[in-house]
Amino acid sequence: ILNVEQSPQSLHVQEGDSTNFTCSFPSSNFYALHWYRWETAKSPEALFVMTLNGDEKKKGRISATLNTKEGYSYLYIKGSQPEDSATYLCAFNTPGGKLIFGQGTELSVKP
Amino acid sequence: GAGVSQTPSNKVTEKGKYVELRCDPISGHTALYWYRQSLGQGPEFLIYFQGTGAADDSGLPNDRFFAVRPEGSVSTLKIQRTERGDSAVYLCASSLGPGGNSPLHFGNGTRLTVT
């Protein structure tokens, strides 16, 4: 059974704080790792698709790193804003094409 | 352009009834995924299609669940003899190819409530 774990489950920070969370996934048969952001009352939106060990991707104040050998990815948010409040999901893409999601990290940023 | 469309947005049904949930993917997207999401959980994989065929249906919980995509575009998720435990948000997503470098584009989901 493929297991994708995210930690922490929830995070409450103040506006301006920087934060990070973790996604752990199987280190064997790696194909790709996806990050999504899911705001309340909207549909999940893709942030990053990462395929190479050591890859780093950035989108504005959000960045992600990937370590396929040890099976983890970090998502960083620099200078959190209230509009960053959302659930952040990672998904492990198997070579067969199936994407398995973690349970998500719920981020709340207070002004 | 048009995104992934799911209908209905909400469905309330009685235990034991049959329901169909529809997904209209983005035009040209060959891969289509169905997920189920319960409160406090991440999306749970049900099935994914590459073209018309089900490439992986290992997530369908039992034989009451069935999905089709007859022309490689619109997909229907069918649930027979619904049970209260089937209540969840059913998400559909499409992508240019089966994962890899192709991100998923999600619809807004169908909230199914079985009373």
Chain B residue closest in CA terms to A48? B103
Closest CA–CA distance from residue A93 to any residue of chain B (Å): 6
A13 with A111: CB under 8 angstroms? no
**pLDDT given at position A2:** 77
Block residue for tokens 């619809």? B107
Helix (H) or strand (E) run with residue A35 in it: strand A32-38
On whether any CB of chain A is under 8 Å from the CB of B91, the answer is yes
Residues 1..60 of B with a Cβ closer than 8 Å to A: which? 3-4, 31, 33, 35, 40-45, 48, 50, 55-56, 58-59
Q: What is the pLDDT of residues B82-112, one digit of tens each?
A: 999 999 999 999 999 765 679 999 999 999 9
User: Containing H/E element for B91?
Assistant: strand B88-95
In chain A, where does DSSP find H-type helix? none
Find the CB nearest B42 among A43, A93, A102: A102
A83 in helix, strand or coil?
helix
pLDDT class for B1, splitting at 50, 70, 90?
A: low
Nearest CA in chain A to B31: A97
Over residues A69-102, the pLDDT tens digits come to 999 999 999 999 999 999 999 999 988 888 999 9
Closest-approach residue (CA) in chain A for B100 = A32
**What would the pLDDT profile of A11-70 be if each residue is shown by its tens digit?**
999 999 999 999 999 988 889 999 999 999 899 999 999 999 999 999 999 999 999 999
Residues B19-62: tens digit of each pLDDT: 999 999 999 999 999 999 998 889 999 999 999 999 899 999 99
User: Is B104 within 8 Å of A100 when comparing Cβ atoms?
Assistant: no
Distance between CA atoms of residues A104 and A40, nearest Å: 13
CA-to-CA distance for A12 and A28, rounded, in angstroms? 33
CB–CB of A49 and B31 under 8 A? no
